Structure 1
């Protein structure tokens, strides 16, 4: 009997939304715990995670292409081929994760200096990167299994994992940072170790679900491993390369403000925490839409794919803009959960106002970018995004921060210009309908 049931956007994304809201709550608690221990710890973890962003993108290399191939195979009711892709992605990701962990371990000090890490938090940043390097071995496997579950519509299981993993994470983070209930006070080491513990536990749960629900064993030898890996990478590398390049761009932007001190770093970090709700709404909707567009493309229903992406982008953009406005109205109260430093509070509120206009642009760009990717159009959107980022946004950011002394607020103006141009370009590419003629599966 077939293990695949095509679900609606609502059924696909509702568990992901619930998972996301839980994650947002955990992010708030996480930030409160870190800042409650010390502002330096909060700033150190924020900078370290920015450095690790590039590694996270690379570790998910095989998961991106795997999701596209799985969804299109399932659109053709080729269940066994979809399962084979899942096994290949998991096995390849484990090897890739080990290589990334080695690079992080050897280069932690270099990366910290690259982003102009303030001296008072440099050692903490390096220590955090060292420990997370161990967790990175498992990250690619987690993203690949999650991609497979998403492709097969098993998003409820992802929600269950999120509930358990986040509860475990908060528990260990609290007791290991502060030293409660018989555990030693470990500060930054506790923050990193809690992540490592959760990654290991998540691997076991996800592999069990993959086997129990879909009868997929990642320990068996897949068919056509080398050829399939090449095919997955061919689809994945433009998107992953774009994500990695964008994180390098963000690292460069962070280095521009890091020299201004921990206040600037915290202002950026707290703003991103408060607007994480908006980011994940866009992300979750784009994930569900990407799967459905992949189904449509696999079954050659191009018209449904075209209308679906347009409708999803417009509606989600409007919802996110309204949510951004609500967050701005309650900005001072929300920032007060993290800090009482008035300079930081004022800076965050100013950025929340700008986010009202930034958010819908980012939403439209993300949904249409992922829609193009789901059809196999992975080169054009990536090349345009990279060109806009490095030819326009990066030099503009340098000018706004260094020459006009606009600090973190200057970066938000740059992001608005960048996302506006990207949204217009993704809209143009999608409306051109050239993606209709692309094929990523053999006939």
Structure 2
């Protein structure tokens, strides 16, 4: 029998385990990149493009996971304990089913998807191997994401962190074995990295299921895994689909921009992958703060504590901006050394340094989007971020990326300027929306039992 929620539901108590968890997720991706960079820069570019496609698949899983986190938090805040459990079971069954369908689709269409990206021919085989193996088992990630959203909403953010630590350790060990081939183990390169990723996720899923049954109070309604009550699915999709629309728009725009970068050549693609891997360590502060804030605001909205929710978002935003700006300045100062960890190519290091300098302006803008959009979602105001996101991502980010990066020949620097314009425009629009308090009238809390 578990507890329904943590006693210490403060931003810090929720956020630091989320911070560690996201940090380790990023380290897992960076471990692949760093260890592969000792094997081949081309392999890094191949995996980078495959991961761009896989990130789109992950977003598709996220639309149910996002709805899950918000609905459970709101219902727990409203003391609707049974409804929260039902939502947990329904969302897990729905996302696992959806994950299986998408995994099959990736297996069937892997090469056509990579050709759409205009991938250089010499990278196609390695990118396809990675996409088939990791993408074919992406349903495992769907289940992990959903269970993580459930457990975090109950306040047990440390549990998810421990799972991520274990997955990270297993992944690094697997990478080492298959890339460097100790003890006579065959060197498999990209294929080995993919196998290592999948195995670590499967073991992580087993641990996540054990924790789920331990933390959900009383009995987990297993019978709802294959049943989808209309009321719960309507509310899950009511939050999830618009949220997914914004994420899909972002990832779709990133795929188009990656296509532009592919026009610039393999070296530009590699520079982008290395720079973004470093940038992840800057904005993870904002991501962690935004997710902790979402849990708190979800509970506050369920309890109808609207003024507390309003102030919580603004305090979290100030903290996220401060942390991301400080992190960007520090990273820019050491940019050559950080890029040098990944490559000895002087041109890649030079270009990467320019991108990391521009990140000082980019990351505070991204903080607005991460924190305020998550707050709006937690309050049930999910459509406005989608409409503004689509308008800005495609009208500003994609359009300016082509004009500045390709047409005017500024390359990656021009594309980063486009990113800055997009993040700041969307961020300021989101802040205006939050301050308007339109979200006060929205709530997805349902009756005690469906």
> Could you say which TM-score interval applies, normalised by the shorter chain?
over 0.9
Distance 1:439 1:15 in 2: 27
Question: In the alignment, is the contact (CA less than 8 A) between 2:6 and 2:156 conserved in 1?
Answer: no
The equivalent position to 1:122 in structure 2, one of 99, 124, 138, is: 124
Verify the 8 A CA contact 2:96 2:143 in the aligned structure 1: yes
Corresponding position of 2:423 = 419
Q: Any residues of structure 2 matched to 1:88-237 within 5 Å, and which?
A: 88-215=90-217, 217=220, 219-221=222-224, 225-237=229-241
For residue 70 of structure 1, report the CA deviation from its aligned partner. Answer: 0.1
Query: What stretches of structure 2 of length at least 5 have no aligned partner?
Result: none
Deviation at 1:2, TM superposition (A): 5.3
**Hey, what's the Cα distance between the residues in 2 that align with 1:71 and 1:277?**
27
- 8 Å CA contact 2:27–2:168 kept in 1: the answer is no
**Residues 305-320 of structure 1 aligned to structure 2 (within 5 Å):** 305-320=309-324
Kindly indicate whether structure 1 or structure 2 has the higher relative contact order, using CA contacts under 8 Å at least 6 residues apart: 2
By how many angstroms is 1:360 displaced? 0.4
Note if 1:19 corresponds to 2:21: yes
Q: In the aligned structure 1, how far is the partner of 2:83 from the partner of 2:425?
A: 39
Matches within 5 A, 1:258-337: 258-337=262-341
Contact 1:117 1:259 in 2 (8 A): no
- Post-superposition Cα deviations, 1:363-391, rounded to whole Å, max 9, x if no partner, equal 11210011000000000111111111112
1:437 corresponds to which residue? 441
C-alpha separation between the residues in 2 aligned to 1:330 and 1:160? 30
User: Post-superposition shift, 1:319?
Assistant: 1.6
CA drift at 1:31: 2.1
* 1:360 aligns to 2:364 (yes or no): yes
Q: How many residues align?
A: 443
Per-residue Cα deviation, 1:333-379 (whole angstroms, up to 9, x for no partner): 11111101000000000000000010000011210011000000000
Cα distance in 1 between the residues matched to 2:361 and 2:394: 22
Pairing partner for 2:57 from 47, 55, 58: 55
Indicate how the Cα distance of structure 1 residues 101 and 23 shifts in structure 2: closer, same or farther if over 3 A, else same: closer
- What is the CA-CA distance between 1:224 and the residue it aligns to? 5.8
**Change over 3 Å in CA distance of 1:404–1:38 after alignment to 2:** same
Q: Is the alpha carbon distance of 1:112 and 1:138 closer, same or farther for their aligned partners in structure 2, counting shifts above 3 Å?
A: same
Q: Secondary structure at the match of 2:443?
A: coil
- 1:24 and 1:260 mapped to 2: Cα distance? 26
Q: Confirm or deny that 1:36 pairs with 2:38.
A: yes
Question: Any conservation in 2 of the 1:17–1:281 contact (CA below 8 Å)?
Answer: yes
Structure 1 residues 106 and 26: CA distance shift in structure 2, 3 A: closer
**Partner residue in 2 for 1:5:** 6
The alpha-carbon deviation at position 416 of structure 1 amounts to 0.5
Quick one: distance in 2 between partners of 1:96 and 1:23? 22
Q: Which consecutive unaligned segments of at least 5 residues does structure 1 have?
A: none
TM-score by length of 2: 0.95
Distance 1:399 1:224, change over 3 A: closer
1:23 and 1:108 mapped to 2: Cα distance?
24
Aligned-residue offset at 1:25: 4.0
SS state at 1:275 partner: helix
**Counterparts of 2:220 and 2:143 in 1: how far apart (Å)?**
13
Q: TM-score, normalised by structure 1?
A: 0.97
Kindly state the Cα deviation for residue 62 of structure 1 after the two structures are TM-superposed.
1.2
